[in-house]
Amino acid sequence: MNSNQLSKRLTAVASFVPKGSVTADIGSDHAYLPCYLIHKKIAVSAIAGEVAEGPFQSALKQVEDDGLKQVINVRKGSGLSVLNIGEVDVVTIAGMGGPLISQILEDGKSKLPGVQRLILQPNISAISIRDWLTRNQWKLIAEEILEEDGKVYEILVAEPSERLIELTYADRLLGPFLAKENSAVFQQKWNEEYKQWERILRQLTQAEPSEIIEAKKEELREKMTIVKEALR
Ligand code: SAM
């Protein structure tokens, strides 16, 4: 893969970047996404942030090979610490677990004033991002679910909100836009999760009873009820 020929997953992330933006891609690895955004004339300039030396070097090389050093600044550092306040309109964070993305947002909160859109693509546990967004006055404006190479990915797009946004537990678990759309990929994802929870519940039922096990069973039953309802 290269920056002209992006994965379906990252192309979907790119589709939510408004034309003319200055974008920061955090955890950019090869910097494929920022290079694509510039090649396609979607972003006018970009910052690629990377914490690890190997991916940081890959990003530098890709940006150099693509002749984009004037418009993509590759910076080494953790999360949003590589940004100055007010420097970018859009932040993308893709290809990590939901808890890590939420932690990056939490740790980098002070850098978010001025950012007009977050585009987040968790590989797992999107609920932790929806939890963070609702706690921090960001409003979900769109979501997408897609399958690529047998894996299911979710994309969450959020913008700053004047007030705190309440989401039900069901909406935080499933995603309000994704649940409404109820696509075949959404059905497939939650059918698989449901079957896995059924297996876990059976194992827990056979285990020595304890308060922790009862609480876990209760939590699973609640999630299963929500998913069953959504899949009807
Ligand atoms: N964003 C690319 C994508 O979606 O294909 C790369 C995803 S790759 C699996 C995750 C990248 O995030 C790795 O290169 C890793 O070094 C980087 N990363 C992890 N934690 C980070 C952090 N706190 N700050 C910056 N980068 C981070």
Residues 68-82: tens digit of each pLDDT: 999 999 999 999 999
Q: Is there an atom of ligand 1 within 6 Å of 27 CB?
A: yes
- Cα(180) to centroid of ligand 1, in Å? 30
Backbone angles phi, psi at 77, to 5 degrees: 165, 170
Q: Which atom of ligand 1 is nearest to the CA of 79?
A: 24
CB 16 within 8 A of CB 51: no
Q: Residue 7 class from Cβ within 10 Å (0-12 exposed, 13-18 middle, 19+ buried)?
A: middle
Cβ atoms 139, 161 nearer than 8 A? yes
Question: For atom 5 of ligand 1, which residue has the closest CA?
Answer: 95
**Amino acid identity, position 116:** Q
Question: Quick one: 82 exposed, middle or buried, by C-beta within 10 A (0-12, 13-18, 19+)?
Answer: buried
Distance, CA of 131 to CA of 111 (rounded, Å): 19
Q: Compute, in angstroms, the gap from residue 25 CA to the centroid of ligand 1.
A: 9
Distance 211 CA to ligand 1 centre (A): 38
Whether the CB of 124 sits within 6 Å of ligand 1: no
Give the pLDDT confidence score for residue 70 in this predicted structure.
98
Q: Is 197 exposed, middle or buried (0-12, 13-18, 19+ CB in 10 A)?
A: middle
Task: Give the number of other CB atoms < 10 A from CB of residue 121.
Answer: 26
CA distances from 231 to 67, 137, 148, 168, 188 (A): 48, 29, 22, 17, 10
Residues 6+ apart with CB under 8 A from 162: 137
Residue 5 confidence (pLDDT): 76
Asked whether 91 lines ligand 1 (CB < 6 A), one says no
Q: Is the CB of 58 under 6 A from ligand 1?
A: no
Q: Ligand 1 atom closest to Cα of 81?
A: 24
Does ligand 1 come within 6 angstroms of the Cβ of 59? no
Task: Report whether residue 29 contacts ligand 1, using a CB cutoff of 6 Å.
Answer: yes
Integer Cα distance of 200 and 194 in angstroms:
10
Nearest Cα residue to atom 3 of ligand 1: 95
Assess whether the C-beta atom of 49 lies below 6 angstroms from ligand 1. Answer: yes
Residue ranges of the chain with pLDDT lower than 50?
A: 1
Structure tokens at 174: 């499933």
Largest Cα span, the chain: 63
Cα end-to-end distance, the chain, whole Å = 39
What's the pLDDT score for residue 156? 98
- In ligand 1, the atom with minimum distance to the C-alpha of 103 is 23
